[in-house]
């Protein structure tokens, strides 16, 4: 459990969000978020854990140790490195989930050439 909360704290700190912002986005009490993120409690209801992970833009399964993290995978990398990526990320983070899905489909179409796997050796 300690590793999960360490990872959750790291994700929170990397997000740049405040407890107030995260509470507003997740509809969870700020005091509960503080206890979950700082390890003051070992019991986090799964629906709350998923909501926190969604707003921190981290994969819940990875934090739980169910998935292996690959820092070079652009779809798992939660740090926006360029000004443009930060702009897109900030806008998407403020959207309701249904709008995020629309934007994701658009971006997948736009960026399809940049995420193609090299199959030149398959022939």
The structure tokens 């989930």 sit at 97
The mean pLDDT value of the chain amounts to 77
Residue ranges and CATH numbers for the domains of the chain are 2-63 (1.10.260.40), 83-116 (no CATH)
pLDDT bracket for residue 58 (50, 70, 90): confident
pLDDT for 118 equals 44
pLDDT bracket for residue 121 (50, 70, 90): very low
**Is 89 a residue whose pLDDT tops 80?**
no
Return all residues near 65 (Cβ < 8 A) that are at least 6 apart.
3, 4
pTM of the shown model: 0.54
Residue 64: count other Cβ atoms within 10 Å of its Cβ. Answer: 14
């Amino acid at each position: 459990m300690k590793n999960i909360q360490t990872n959750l704290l790291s994700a929170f700190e990397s997000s740049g969000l405040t407890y107030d912002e995260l509470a507003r986005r997740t509809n969870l009490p700020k005091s509960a978020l503080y206890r979950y993120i700082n390890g003051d409690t070992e019991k986090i209801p799964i629906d709350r854990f998923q909501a926190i992970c969604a707003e921190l833009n981290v994969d819940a399964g990875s934090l739980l140790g169910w998935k292996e993290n690959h820092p070079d995978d652009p779809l798992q990398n939660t740090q926006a490195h360029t000004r443009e990526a930060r702009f897109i990320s900030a806008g998407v983070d403020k959207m309701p989930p249904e709008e995020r899905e629309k934007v994701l489909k658009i971006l997948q179409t736009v960026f399809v050439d940049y995420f193609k796997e090299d199959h030149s050796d398959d022939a």
